[in-house]
Structure 1
Amino acid sequence: MTTHLHILQLEEYDPIRFLKWWIANPLVFKLQGKKPLVWTPKAKLIYALSGGFWPLMFLALLILKPYEIINRKILKDKLRNKIVKLKQGGLKVIAISGSYGKTSVKEYLYQILKTKYKVLRTPGNYNTLFGIAKVVDLELDETFDYFICEMGAYKRGEISELCDMVKPDYGILTGINEQHLERFGNIENTIKAKFELVEFVKDHSNLVLNFGNELVKSHAPEGVVIYGQGKYKHPQDQNIEGAIKMAKILGVVKIVNEVVTPLHRLSVTRRDKMTIIDDAYSSNVDGFKKAVEYLKTFEGWRVIVTPGITELGKETGRIHQELGRLLKGLDQVILVGNNERTRGLKLGVGENVEYVDKVGEAMGKVQKTEATILFENDLPDNY
C-alpha cells in the first residue's frame, strides 16, 4: 500500500496518471526511494480511508475532493488578504515563471537582492499553490522588502490563480518549450499558461523576458525588458543575466561579482582524474541541448549519462531522436533504462550506445579514467 501511495503522491494525487503508471508497472511493490513518501495530512487521510488497501485510494480521493475544494478557497482568501496587507506596508512581490530556468534565476536574483534588501524566496522548487501558501503563511512578514515567488503550472489557469493570490508587482519569464507537454496537451496551451504572468503585470517595464527563447520573443508585448540574446561561456550565464536585469529595475546597480550556482544545475566538480558536470536536477529540451553543447567544449574523453526527458507526450520519440543527433561526436553515450525515451536517443545517435538500469551503474561503464562526464537528468521513482 505505501508504495502505491508513494507513487500517487509523486503523481500529485492524479488518479489517471497513477493508473497509467500501474498499468506499466503492475508488479512493482518496492521503490528505490530517491524521494521518500512524505506523510502529509492528505497522505495520512488517504491511507486511513483506504484501510491500507490500495485500490480504495480512489474512493478516498473522491471523499476528500469536496473538502479540498473548500480548503483551497479558504487558504487562498486568507493568504491573499495577508499579501495585500503586507504590500500596503511596502512589500514588493516578484514572480518567476517559465518551462525551465525558474529556480536558477530565482536563486541568482535572491543572492543579488539580499546584498541590499531583506528578501524571502520560495525554497527549492516550491512552486505550487500549497507550497507557496506554506511559505507565505509561516515565513513572510512585515520585515521583508521583497518576496520572490517561483510559479509552476501543469495546465492553463494555474499561474493566474497564483497571481491572484500573491499579486506580483514584477515578473520574469525564463523561456517556453515542450516541458510537461504531456500535461498541457499542446504547445499553444503551454504558451498561454506561462504568459498568464505577463498578462497580470500591467506595467510592462516591470517585466523581464528571455528573448533568447523564440516562443517568448514572438509572443511578447512591447515595453518589456529583455535578456538572453548574448553569447555565453556557461549555460547558466543566461539565467544570471535575467536576474541582473531584474535587480537593476529594483535599483541594485552594484552587482555581486560571484554568485553560487544551485546544486545539480550544470555544476562542475573534480573526482580523482574525472570532471563531473552535474545537471541531474531536472531536464528539458533547451537545457539538454545547452548541456551537451557545454560538454563538447571540454577536451578529452567526453561521456553523457542520461535517462532522457519525461512528460513530452506524443512528441517523446521525435524529440529524443532529435536530441540523439546532438550526441554524435561524443566518445560514450550511456542511457539509463530501455524505454521510448532512450530508444529515441539511440535512433538519433545512430551509433553504439550502452545501457544501464540505474544511474549508479554508469561510472563502471566509463572507459577511461580521465574523462568529462555529464549527468543529464535523474528521474523520480514514478519513472
Structure 2
Amino acid sequence: MRGLAEVLALLAAGTALALALVRIVHLLHMLQLEEYDTRRFVHWVVLHSGQLAANPILDLLGLLGIVVLFLPLQLVSSEGVIASSLSIVVGLTGLLWERRLGARSPVKKALVMTPRARRLLGCAAILSVGTCLALLVRQARLALAIAWLLPLLAPVVLVVSRTIMEPIEASIRDWYVRDARRTLAGYAPIVVGITGSYGKTSTKFFTAHLLEARYRVLMTPESYNTAMGICRVIRGQLGPEHEVFVVELAENEKGGFEHLLRLVPCSISIVTSVGLQHLEEFGSEAAIRRAMQGFVSMPGSGSTVVLNGDDPVLAEIGSLQGKKILRASAGGSLLSDLHAENIVMSADGLSFDVVMNQGQRIACRTNLLGRHNVENILLAVAVARELGLSWSTIQDGVATLQAPPHRLQMMTGAGGVRIIDDAYNSNPAGFAMAMEVLAAFPSRRVLVTPGLVSLGKAEDTENIEAGRRAAGAADMVILVGPKKTRPVREGLLSAGFPETNILTARSLEEVTGLMRSLLIPGDTVLFENDLPDTYNE
C-alpha cells in the first residue's frame, strides 16, 4: 500500500504541475503582449478573471488542495490513495480542457519563445517544482497540497518569477545597449529619428523610401521602436555599407526619450504629432505634451528637427539655441517651411502640390489613401531636402510610395471585394481619417472594428465619437467584442445608424464567417484597428 500510495502521490503532483505550467505558458503569452510590464499584466488578469476561470477543473483541483492542506490526511492511507487517484483524473481532465479552450480561441500573434521568455518560463518552472520538492523533504502532504493549488496560483507564480528575473534582465539589457551603442558609433551613419503619438511608422517608411534614391538606408522594421527592438536591429543588421539609419522611437518607452536618445543620438529627427494615444501609459494629456516638447530640446534629437506644422502643441515650440526647426504643413500654413496646396483625395489615391516658403512648387501624385498621409509625406520630404535630394527625385519617390503593412493598405479580396487594411491604426485622429477614406468609396461600405483602446478615462467618450463618425461613412458595421464596443454602438445609434446594420462578433474568426455570407462583389471592407489577443472576450 505504501509504495502504491507514494507512486500515485508523485503522479498526482506531476499532473498538477504540468497543468500549472500549461497555464503559465498561456499567461506568459499575455505578459509578452503587455511588453513584460507587470502593472499592465496584473490589470489584464483583473479584467479577464472570467477568462482565467474558464476551466472549472482548476477549481476542483484547488479545492482538493485546500482539503488536503487543512485535514490531517495521510498519503500512505487509503484516503491518500483515493485523493491522489482523483487528482490524477482531475489533472488530466484539466489538461484536455485547456487544450479545448486553446483550440476554440486561436491567437493572432503567437507566443514567441525569445531568450527572455525562455528564462522567465524556466524560472517559473523552477519556482513551482522547487517549492514542492523543498516541502516534500519535510512535509509530503503540504507539498502535494501546494502542487494542487499551483494551477490556480499561476498568475502569482508568473509575477513572482518576473520580479525575481528583473535584475538579471536589467543587466542583460544594459549589456545589449552598450554593445549597440558601440556598433552604431563605429559605423556612424546619419541617424534620422521619428517619434510622435501617431504617424511614426508611415513617416518612417516614406522617409526611408525617398532617401533610398540617393543613400544606402537601413530602417527599423515594422513597429520596432523600443530600446531592445532598436538594439536588435543595430546589432543584427547595421553594417558599414549603411549611410542612413532611419529609426522609429517609442514615445512611451520606459526611461523616456533620454534613454532612447542615449542609444541612438539623432542627426535629424521628426515629430509627427501629439495626441491621445497611449494615454493610459502617460496618465494625462499634459504628460504627453511635456514628453514631446521635451524631445525637441534634447541634444540627442539632432541639430535639425522637423515638426508637424499643423499640430497645436508643436506650434508652441519656438526657436531653440543650436537647433534648426523646420515645419511642414498639410493644412497650407504659410508660416511653415513647406506646405501642401490643392489636395485632392479619392479612392484612387492623392494628388497635391508641395510649396516651399521660397515659392518653389512641385506637383505630386501617389496611390496612398488618406488625407493624413499628405502630412506624413511632407515630413519625409523635408528630411529628403535637408539631405540634398533634388525635387525631381523626390517627385519620383512620392509617386512610388507604398502603404506600410496594415496602414490603409489596399488589397483585392475574393469575389472582387476591396479590402482596406488599417489594422494598426488605433487613435481618434486616425480613426476619423479612415472614415473619410471609407466614405470616398461607392456603396456598400463595411466597417470591421473593435473600437479604440489605451485612451484611459477618455476611451468611452472617444469610442462614442468614433461610432458617430462611422455612421456617416459605413453602410454596415461589424463590431468585434460585444463588451468592449458598447460605446461605439452607442455612438452609431445616436447618429441614427440603423441597428439592423450593426453586427457583433467575438473574434476575427467569427467576422470571417459573417463576411462569407454578407459580402458581394464591389463591396469595400475597412478593417480598422486589430486588437491583440489580450483583448479577446
TM over 0.5: yes
Within the candidate set 46, 50, 54, 2:124 is matched to 50
Q: Which residue of 1 aligns with 2:426?
A: 283
Q: Which residue of 2 aligns with 1:81?
A: 182
Q: Which residue of 2 aligns with 1:252?
A: 389
Within the candidate set 376, 392, 416, 1:239 is matched to 376
Letter in 1 for 2:309: F
Q: Which residue of 1 aligns with 2:441?
A: 298
1:335, CA displacement in angstroms? 0.8
Change (3 A) 1:215 1:368: farther
| Alignment pair present for 1:378 and 2:522 | no
Change (3 A) 1:203 1:175: closer
Write the distance in 1 (CA, Å) between the matches of 2:106 and 2:311. Answer: 36
Largest Rg, 1 or 2? 2
| Aligned partner of residue 36 in structure 2, secondary structure | coil
| Alignment pair present for 1:62 and 2:211 | no
Letter in 2 for 1:265: R
The Cα offsets for residues 225-256 of structure 1, whole Å up to 9 and x where unpaired, read as 22232446232333222211211111112222
| Alignment pair present for 1:213 and 2:311 | yes
Whether contact under 8 Å (1:305, 1:336) holds in the other structure is yes
Instruction: Give the stretch that moved more between structures: 121-130 or 297-306.
Output: 297-306
In the alignment, structure 1 segments of 5+ residues that lack a partner are: none
Q: Which residue of 2 aligns with 1:146?
A: 244
1:81, CA displacement in angstroms? 3.1
Instruction: Give the stretch that moved more between structures: 94-103 or 257-266.
Output: 257-266
Instruction: Give the stretch that moved more between structures: 149-158 or 272-281.
Output: 149-158
Whether contact under 8 Å (2:262, 2:300) holds in the other structure is no
Write the distance in 2 (CA, Å) between the matches of 1:155 and 1:122. Answer: 16
Whether contact under 8 Å (1:155, 1:193) holds in the other structure is no
1:188, CA displacement in angstroms? 1.4
1:14, CA displacement in angstroms? 1.4
Within the candidate set 232, 237, 256, 1:158 is matched to 256
| Aligned partner of residue 327 in structure 1, secondary structure | helix
In the alignment, structure 2 segments of 5+ residues that lack a partner are: 1-23, 53-97, 129-149, 332-339, 346-368
1:50, CA displacement in angstroms? 1.0
Q: Which residue of 1 aligns with 2:29?
A: 6
| Aligned partner of residue 533 in structure 2, secondary structure | coil
Letter in 2 for 1:143: E
Letter in 2 for 1:197: F
Letter in 2 for 1:36: A
Write the distance in 2 (CA, Å) between the matches of 1:309 and 1:86. Answer: 41
Change (3 A) 1:365 1:97: farther
Write the distance in 2 (CA, Å) between the matches of 1:220 and 1:334. Answer: 45
Change (3 A) 1:48 1:79: same
Whether contact under 8 Å (1:106, 1:148) holds in the other structure is yes
Letter in 2 for 1:378: D
Q: Which residue of 2 aligns with 1:179?
A: 277
Letter in 2 for 1:267: Q
Whether contact under 8 Å (2:465, 2:491) holds in the other structure is yes
Change (3 A) 1:349 1:79: same
Q: Which residue of 1 aligns with 2:209?
A: 111
The Cα offsets for residues 352-383 of structure 1, whole Å up to 9 and x where unpaired, read as 12211122433246465432221101111011
| Alignment pair present for 1:263 and 2:405 | yes
The RMSD of aligned alpha carbons is 2.2
Q: As a proportion of its length, which structure holds more helix?
A: 2
Task: State TM-score, norm by structure 2.
Answer: 0.67
1:59, CA displacement in angstroms? 1.8
Write the distance in 1 (CA, Å) between the matches of 2:431 and 2:229. Answer: 27
The Cα offsets for residues 259-286 of structure 1, whole Å up to 9 and x where unpaired, read as 1211211122233232211111232111
| Aligned partner of residue 334 in structure 1, secondary structure | strand
| Aligned partner of residue 338 in structure 1, secondary structure | coil
Write the distance in 1 (CA, Å) between the matches of 2:477 and 2:43. Answer: 29
Whether contact under 8 Å (2:295, 2:301) holds in the other structure is no
Write the distance in 2 (CA, Å) between the matches of 1:232 and 1:71. Answer: 51
Q: Which residue of 1 aligns with 2:480?
A: 336
Q: Which residue of 2 aligns with 1:314?
A: 457
Letter in 2 for 1:313: G
Identity among equivalent pairs (%)? 33
Change (3 A) 1:203 1:367: closer
**Larger relative contact order (C-alpha < 8 A, sep ≥ 6)?**
1
Write the distance in 2 (CA, Å) between the matches of 1:63 and 1:283. Answer: 34
The Cα offsets for residues 295-345 of structure 1, whole Å up to 9 and x where unpaired, read as 1111222221100111111111111111111122331121111124x1111
Instruction: Give the stretch that moved more between structures: 65-74 or 197-206.
Output: 197-206
Instruction: Give the stretch that moved more between structures: 365-374 or 29-38.
Output: 365-374
Q: Which residue of 2 aligns with 1:361?
A: 510
Q: Which residue of 1 aligns with 2:47?
A: 24
Whether contact under 8 Å (2:265, 2:302) holds in the other structure is no
Whether contact under 8 Å (1:205, 1:225) holds in the other structure is no
Change (3 A) 1:371 1:318: same
Instruction: Give the stretch that moved more between structures: 210-219 or 276-285.
Output: 210-219
Number of residues of Structure 1 aligned to a counterpart in Structure 2 = 379
Write the distance in 2 (CA, Å) between the matches of 1:311 and 1:245. Answer: 31
Change (3 A) 1:155 1:270: closer
1:158, CA displacement in angstroms? 2.0
Instruction: Give the stretch that moved more between structures: 307-316 or 20-29.
Output: 20-29
Letter in 2 for 1:171: S
| Aligned partner of residue 195 in structure 1, secondary structure | helix
| Alignment pair present for 1:129 and 2:227 | yes
1:144, CA displacement in angstroms? 1.4
Instruction: Give the stretch that moved more between structures: 13-22 or 362-371.
Output: 362-371
